[in-house]
Amino acid sequence: MVVGHGMVAHRLVEAVRSGDDAQLWRIVVFGEEPRPAYDRVALTSYVAGWDAEALTLPGADYAGDEAVDLRLGDPVVAVDRDRRRVRTAAGLVQHYDVLVLATGSVPFVPPVPGRELPGCFVYRTIDDLDAIRVAVDRARERGDSPAAAVVGGGLLGLEAAKALRDLGLTPHVVELAPRLMPLQVDEGGGNLLRRLVTDLGVEVHTGTSTDEIRADGDRLRAVLGDGTELDIDLLVFSAGVRPRDELARACGLAVGERGGVLVDDSCRTSDPDVFAVGECAAVNGHVYGLVAPGYAMAEVVAATLLGGQASFPGAETATKLKLLGVDVASFGDVHATTEGALEVVLADAVAGTYAKLVVSDDAGTLLGGVLVGDASRYALLHPLVGSPLPAEPAALLRGDGAEPGAGAEALPDSALVCSCNAVTKGAITEAIVTEGASTVAALKAATRAGTSCGSCVPTLGRLLTACGVEQPKALCEHFPFSRAELFEIVRATRIGTFSQLIAGYGSGHGCAVCKPVVASILASLGGGHILSGEQATLQDTNDRFLANLQRNGTYSVVPRIPGGEITPDKLIVLGEVAKDFGLYTKITGGQRIDLFGATVDQLPHIWRRLVDAGFESGHAYGKAVRTVKSCVGSTWCRYGQQDSVGLAIRLELRYRGLRSPHKIKGGVSGCARECAEARGKDFGVLATEVGWNLYVGGNGGATPRHADLLVSDVDTETLVRVLDRFLMFYVRTADRMQRTSAWLEELDGGLGHLRSVVVDDSLGIAAELEAAMDRHVATYTDEWKGVLDDPDKLARFTSFVNAPGTPDPTVSFRVERGQRVPVSLGIPEVTSR
């Protein structure tokens, strides 16, 4: 039984119903509102068209699903845990086996005298907005210029102010704190935000309270703590929310000190038969007021109900919003609460922008940041939180061409690596070189670095490597296994989630190293769409949006063009899409066409056009098989000896989407003239008079390596069989971020051992490797289409979480050589004639 039918409750029902053992459960859902679950995050958009159906979540009525019984407009009012049953407002008594509380939260209404007067509202539901609309219409009928007050200047308050302004009112925002959005921005950002919001016609009153509300004929008078009196037509309370835990309290469940139903990492309450998810839940005492953590909780409970093991992975509190048309972004330690934290601020009052980075006391690690007025650098800065800075903070804010890349080894000896215990890079290097500390544990014992918060532990490992110390194979501090060992664990145990894996074989909650690795392993083993359920939270930025992040925060789209062969009709489609969306186009070295400059919200629309025309994802964003380049071969070339185009297309379609430790590129050349540059690829095929030669372990880039000959003069079927084995053996045994070239060089026995395994079957695993590849081929589906066919996945693709569909106006371009290129990061403009 699910009590409540909001966004999180709906996600829970969907997750249970989509599971392998969904038939085990009959689900009864009690909703308080008279309508199915809708998108409360986008509530403000309701004012634009007053269409409640537009907000309804797809499938929320469960039409045709006999396993789900949805009962709306009849909230649960009592829970009898001893008899495991509930009673509703209408008097219905319903038994349950497992109860999930998803009652959400309620608006906090301060104890202001007069708060019950007609004309006072809260801002939480569609019904609330309908009531506000009626009050606005009445105010207009009086012929006055209507005005309103919003009590609360946080995120919800500014959302309410926007809705009121869109209704034609002059809104006043009253905030007790000395600035707007006190939780998300600092004083400097708040000052600019106030100015920008005021310029948009909103009156702002900060550092004061609403002391009294009086009736004044048909209107209201709000008396503020500083003596100001506001003549208004209506007042909206939007001063935060409180978890709805009254059912839990009444039936004796444990609650948090600050409210919320107390649950553990599995979202289980003090009663093992009762769970709680979303804004009513206090996970280990902490209440999350965001929908994303609620979704994660829903997935955890669903996994448990379906016989798995999962735990709440924590929540990302970084936010990028558009409030009243103003960009606001914050991430990490916004208020510099970390001991010794430093702040670097760039404020441009003329341009109306404010940017702050919070760094560690050695200025070497990014701790957090605030962006107001221009959030274009959010996409690049946010992923750097907790990492060594690749450039000076001011340069990162200005965008002086500085990009991530410089590691701990580039820091001066005086730089603090462990700010908790004031340990410098010089002290750590001394312990490695002079005292012989050869492991992270030995470094901790010798210097105390990494013994407090532990955030610098990855840096310790990098410094060991920089000093020439060979590191253990442990993937990270959360798993004592190498990637290859983890692969075998997942394959043998058939574990399907990161939560299960870390619970059984690791420790902690994971990190940016192990999460993408496990995501790749799960995908390699057929774990479903990479944005399904918990998997979505594990991905790198590019995989998270199925596109490549570019330097101005936009994305590039690369459709698959197998073997470089494309029909004129498809070529025209690419041109039309690029033209309609204003995208920069470039032919890549892998014989594909790259479309640059798409914003997050444009991606699904671009994909739809491409998918309808027969294209699919080219996996340019993933650690996967990318392309198989070809020459024209015997079809056209007078020197060609075999059909290189046909083979390249066959291989690319066979291996497309194969997730791997690093990207994989292939090539097929029709003769020894090597026009496809096949011997510079992870696998390369050269045509001979009697068949094909297969080369492996090649690599271009910064450390080029010619591929080694694995087999020669084999027929096509033998070639494919050996290549199947080679790729699957690499996927299973390589380390994280290890290209085939480095893997082959580090492989015990080198090329000889590889040949004995994949050609001679010395380990007896050849059939198993081939079967694994056959499963991959049989289960492949296009990831772009998987998003387009799934409303929940589709909802992830928005530039602003509170304004879905709104394009990001901070992205700007200039024209160069007849195409749009980004204006950002301080790149000098090049004039071309």
pLDDT digits (tens, 9 = 90+) for 580-599: 999 999 999 889 999 999 98
DSSP-assigned beta bridge partners for residue 221? 214, 231
Residues 60-70 pLDDT 10s: 999 989 999 99
Q: Which of 682, 608, 610, 668 is nearest to 637 (CA)?
A: 668
- Do residue 260 and residue 383 come from a single domain? no
765 shares a domain with 643: yes
70 and 213 in a single domain? The answer is: no
With a cut of 80, say whether residue 542 has pLDDT above it: yes
- 531 and 611 housed in the same domain: no
Query: What per-residue confidence (pLDDT) applies to 407?
Result: 47
pLDDT above 90 (res 38): yes
Q: What is the pLDDT of residue 802?
A: 63
pLDDT tens readout for residues 747-757: 867 788 899 99
CA of 746: how far to CAs of 279, 339, 735, 765, 783, in Å? 50, 42, 10, 21, 33
What pLDDT score was predicted for residue 401? 41
Instruction: Tell me whether residue 267 is annotated as binding.
Output: no
Residue 84 has pLDDT above 80, yes or no: yes
Contact 313, 138 (CB under 8 A): no
DSSP character at residue 5: -
User: Nearest to residue 93, comparing CAs of 78, 72, 71?
Assistant: 78
Tell me what the pLDDT averaged over the chain comes to: 87
**Same domain as 255, residue 229:** no
Average pLDDT of the residues in 423-447: 84
What's the pLDDT score for residue 614? 96
Task: Name which of 502, 507, 498, 508 is nearest 534 in CA terms.
Answer: 498
pLDDT score of 767: 95
Please tell me the predicted confidence (pLDDT) of residue 403: 39
* Rounded (10°) angle between helices 291-305 and 498-505: 70
The verdict on residue 256 lying in a domain is yes
More confident residue, 551 or 91: 91
Residues 765 and 629 occupy one common structural domain: yes
The answer to whether residue 316 scores a pLDDT higher than 80 is no
pLDDT number for residue 418:
64
Note whether 527 and 552 are same-domain residues: no
Tens digits of residue pLDDT in 194-204: 998 888 889 99
Report residue 364's pLDDT band, with 50, 70 and 90 as the boundaries: confident
Domain co-membership, 80 together with 148: no
> How big, in percent rounded to 5, are the helix, strand and coil portions of the chain?
35, 20, 45
Q: What is the CATH number of the domain that holds 810?
A: 3.30.70
Q: Is the pTM of this model over 0.85?
A: no
Full DSSP string of 314-362:
-----EEEEETTEEEEEEESTT--STT-EEEEEEETTTTEEEEEEE-TT
The pLDDT, as a whole number, for residue 167 is: 85
Of 374 and 615, the structure prediction assigns the larger pLDDT to 615
The string of DSSP letters for 563-624 reads: GG---HHHHHHHHHHHHHHT-EEEE-TTS-EEEEEE-GGGHHHHHHHHHHTT--B--TTSSB
Report yes or no on 826 lying in a domain: yes
Residue 132 has pLDDT above 90, yes or no: yes
Residue 585 and residue 153: Cα distance in Å, rounded? 44
pLDDT of residue 744: 87
* pLDDT tens column, 376-431: 677 567 657 787 887 788 888 876 543 333 445 555 576 556 644 457 788 899 99
Judge whether 168 and 136 are in contact, CB under 8 Å.
yes
Domain assignment present for residue 473? The answer is: no
Q: Tell whether 475 is covered by a domain.
A: no
CA separation for the pair 399, 387 (Å, rounded):
18
Under the banding of pLDDT at 50, 70 and 90, the label for residue 322 is low
The torsion angles phi and psi of 646, rounded to 5 degrees, stand at -60, -45
- For residue 794, being part of any structural domain is answered with no
Q: Are residues 392 and 346 in the same domain?
A: yes
Answer yes or no: do 88 and 30 share one domain. Answer: yes
Q: For the segment 787-813, what is each residue's pLDDT rounded down to a tens digit?
A: 999 988 888 887 665 656 666 666 778
**Model confidence band, residue 504 (pLDDT cutoffs 50, 70, 90):** very high
Q: What is the pLDDT of residues 648-702, one digit of tens each?
A: 999 999 999 999 999 999 999 999 888 999 999 999 999 998 899 999 999 887 6
Domain match, 663 and 675 both: yes
DSSP letters, 608-667, are: HHHHHTT--B--TTSSBEEEEEE--HHHH-TT--S-HHHHHHHHHHHHTT-B-SS-EEEE
- Helix/strand/coil for 425: helix
Q: Edge-to-edge, what's the strand order for the sheet holding 555-557?
A: 548-549, 555-557, 593-598, 584-587
Provide the angle, in degrees to the nearest 10, between the axes of the packed helices 483-493 and 498-505.
110
- The residue segments making up the domain with residue 357 are 319-406
Is 120 within any annotated ligand binding site?
no
In a domain, 690, yes or no: yes
Residue 617 lies in a domain: yes
User: Distance of CA 687 to CAs 535, 552, 642, 652, 709, Å?
Assistant: 41, 42, 6, 17, 13
Question: In CATH, what number is assigned to the domain containing residue 87?
Answer: 3.50.50.60
Give, in order, the Cα–Cα distances in Å from 142 to each of 138, 145, 226, 410, 721: 7, 9, 29, 69, 81
Distance of CA 821 to the CA centre of its chain: 26
Q: Using the Cα atoms of residue 297, residue 624, residue 599 and residue 571 in order, give the sign of their dihedral.
A: negative
- Number of domain units in the chain: 7
User: Both ends of the chain: CA-CA distance in Å?
Assistant: 69
Question: What's the average model confidence in pLDDT over 461-486?
Answer: 84
Q: What is the DSSP string of 248-263?
A: HHHTT--B-TTSSEEE
Question: Of 737, 368, 399, whose CA–CA distance to 553 is shortest?
Answer: 399
637 is in an annotated binding site: yes
What pLDDT score was predicted for residue 556? 94
Amino acid at 699: N
Task: Give the residue from 483, 516, 539 where a domain finishes.
Answer: 539
Coil, strand or helix: which one is 758? helix
Residue 793 lies in a domain: no
Sign of CA dihedral 396, 398, 403, 406: negative
Q: Sorting pLDDT into bands at 50, 70 and 90, what band is 833?
A: very low
Q: CA torsion angle for 155, 158, 159, 161 (degrees, to 10)?
A: 160
E strands of 502-580, at which residues?
Answer: 548-549, 555-557
Mean predicted confidence (pLDDT) in 762-786: 94
Residues 736 and 644 in one domain: yes
Average pLDDT on 279-305 reads: 90
CATH number at residue 359: 3.30.390.30
> Which CATH number fits the domain that encloses residue 743?
3.30.413.10
- Range scoring the smallest mean pLDDT among 283-297, 441-455, 692-706: 441-455
Average pLDDT of span 335-340: 89
For residues 787 and 551, the answer to whether their CB atoms sit within 8 Å is no
Most confident of 48-62, 213-227, 312-326, 432-446: 213-227
pLDDT over 90 at 33, yes or no: yes
pLDDT > 90: percent of the chain: 55
Q: If pLDDT is split at 50, 70 and 90, which confidence band does 831 have? A: very low
Which residues, listed in sequence order, are joined to residue 814 by a DSSP beta bridge?
821
pLDDT at 229: 94
Is 777 a residue whose pLDDT tops 90?
Answer: yes
Q: Which of 406, 436, 451 is the last residue of a domain?
A: 406
Supply the CATH number for residue 420's domain: 1.10.10.1100
Any bridge partners for residue 184, and if so which? Answer: none
* Tokens (6 digits) for 742: 């480095």
Whether residue 675 is annotated as binding a ligand: the answer is: yes
DSSP character at residue 453: S
